[in-house]
Amino acid sequence: MVFTHGVALTVFCVMFALVTLAGFLAGRWRRPKDGMHSLEEWGLAGRSFGTLITWFLIGGDLYTAYTIIAVPAALYGGGAMGFFAVPYVIFIYPYMMVVLPRLWEICQRHGYITFADMVRGRFGFRPLTLAIALTGILSLMPYIALQLVGMKVVLAAMGMGGEWPIIIAFVILAAYTYSSGLRAPAVIAVVKDVMLYIMVLAAVVLLPLKLGGFGHIFAVAKAALPTHVPAGSILLKPGQVLPYTTLALGSAVALILYPHTATGMLSAASKGTIRRNAALLPAYSLLLGLLALLGYVAIAAGVTTADKSQAIPLLFLKMFPEWFAGFCLSAIAIGALVPAAIMSIAASNLFTRNIWGELTRTKLNDKQESQMAKIVSLVVKFGALAFVIESPSSYAIEMQLLGGIWIAQLFPSVVLGAFVRKLHPWALFCGWAAGMGMGTWMAAAMQLKTSGVYPLHLLGGTYSMYAAVPALAINLVLAIGLTPVFRAMGVRDGSHVEVAFG
């Protein structure tokens, strides 16, 4: 095999090896004397992280390898519509400031590991608990697969194709996650985010200087985008305003409901840590806005590729010295390791606590829980690996879009459930089922394309919007509207089981 970018690949491998070593050593950091023999220690690092580590962990959790590739790729291919990711992360931080401290407080008080734990304690209704847990796991699997896709794109750009590099990388990931738990991605997140800031700041300063400034870059993008198939534009077209807005709002609602967000949040040491992070995390919005502009930079640099996902790796290899291109591409690949590790831990926490526990009605001791979670985390990673190897990359992208629609349907049970006592669990379950069904139907009707945007025919007009939004609207109407119906029927709600929080 002839590697077309040997220097870049060498730097890439050295950085990857250093991060791997950090992942294995992380298991010794703040390790309790009796080892990590509980799910709380392995899966939440003993709920011990302070403001700085939580900032890196949640940031690394939300800004994944595929985000780094896909956001600028969306601008490279279609223009302004892809920029919805920036307002959506702006929306999310006030939302986090209100919701996450409340969720943390409830979960800390009762020792909950997952949001499904909280729903179980709040409503005492097994079918709803299983629904929340299954939705979380199903939504995570394609998200983990997308991290593999991001790594695969980076390796392919350096001429390192085939499946073996991906397999080796994920075997290493599986090994240090198994041994170190959440401490491994927490340590790696610090390294990854420092590298990412260096990469983005260098790119947005140096590349525009080489290309004649941002004025020239925008002018070239403005002329080139209408020639793309489908045609793009540097400004939103009139028919794109509603899809753009609903994509931003729907994505913001969904993001904090993902199990990996819950895992990062619940590892914090205090409610104040969560509030400080909600105030500090907008720094990542600035980073994402700068990162998105690299899509236009790639157009101005003359990067041509049929695969939009290749635009940013090819840009770096074309415009930077080989050694620095290798550094940048390793930052993107390491950006796959952090969220993939957290996601697999989150999925294993859900399975151990809320699938196995609910179905078998068997109480595991601390050691049994942590051991099962470790094994499930391996199964989840290799399941995602098999999915990527056996399926086209587009399947993972399409399934992740569906996962975003699904996870938004947890809003009534998790977010409203944290603040409102009176919702009936049967009403919540009916709302969840209707939202899942409607969202899946709309996505399937569009063949999982168009970023989940569906043309909704209503009152004689057609309104194109992100499918998660109308699905969630139906969910909320049923959850709220059916509550007095079930109460009038005298259906027992089960909320007497454990609710003690006010």
Whole-prediction pTM value? 0.90
Query: For residue 465, what are the β-bridge partners?
Result: 454
Helix (H, G, I), strand (E, B), or coil: what is residue 259? helix
Query: For residue 49, what are the β-bridge partners?
Result: 268
Q: At 37, phi and psi to the nearest 5?
A: -105, 25
**What does each of the 502 residues of the chain score in pLDDT, given as a tens digit?**
445 678 888 999 898 888 888 888 876 776 666 656 788 888 888 888 888 888 888 876 667 777 788 889 889 988 988 888 888 878 888 888 899 999 999 999 999 999 999 999 999 899 999 999 999 999 998 888 888 888 888 888 888 777 788 888 888 888 888 888 888 888 888 888 888 889 988 998 999 999 999 999 999 999 999 998 888 899 998 888 999 999 989 988 998 899 998 998 999 999 899 988 888 877 777 888 888 899 999 999 999 988 888 899 999 999 999 999 999 999 888 888 888 888 999 999 999 999 987 788 777 788 888 899 999 998 988 888 887 777 776 666 777 788 889 999 999 999 999 998 789 999 999 999 999 999 999 988 888 776 788 898 887 788 899 999 999 999 999 999 999 999 988 887 665 455 443 3
Structure tokens at 336: 């796959």
Q: What residues contact residue 441 under an 8 Å CB cut-off, 6+ apart?
A: none
What are the strands, taking DSSP E only, across 390-444? none
Residue 220 exposure: Cα atoms within 13 Å on the Cβ side:
19
- Tell me the Cα Rg of the chain: 22
Structure tokens at 257: 């409901």
Homologous superfamily, domain 48-418: Sodium/glucose cotransporter (1.20.1730.10)
Give residue for tokens 């947005």.
Answer: 204
Boundaries of every domain in the chain: 48-418
The separation between CA 415 and the C-alpha centre of its own chain, rounded to angstroms, equals 18
Helix (H, G, I), strand (E, B), or coil: what is residue 492? coil
Sign of CA dihedral 368, 374, 375, 379: positive
- DSSP H helical ranges for 212-281: 214-224, 241-255, 259-266, 271-280
Q: What residues contact residue 20 under an 8 Å CB cut-off, 6+ apart?
A: 172, 176
Give residue for tokens 């870059």.
Answer: 217
pLDDT of residue 450: 66
Is the CB of residue 214 less than 8 Å from the CB of residue 208?
yes
SS (H, E, C) 28-54: HCCCCCCCCCCHHHHHHHHHCECHHHH
User: What distance in Å separates the CA atoms of residue 228 and residue 214, rounded to the nearest whole number?
Assistant: 21
For residue 467, the 8-state DSSP code is T
Residue 98: how many other CB atoms lie within 10 Å: 12
User: What distance in Å separates the CA atoms of residue 247 and residue 404, rounded to the nearest whole number?
Assistant: 10
Please give the helix or strand (H or E) that residue 415 lies within, else none: none
Q: At 497, phi and psi to the nearest 5?
A: -60, -50
For residue 33, the 8-state DSSP code is T
Cα separation of the two ends of the chain: 64
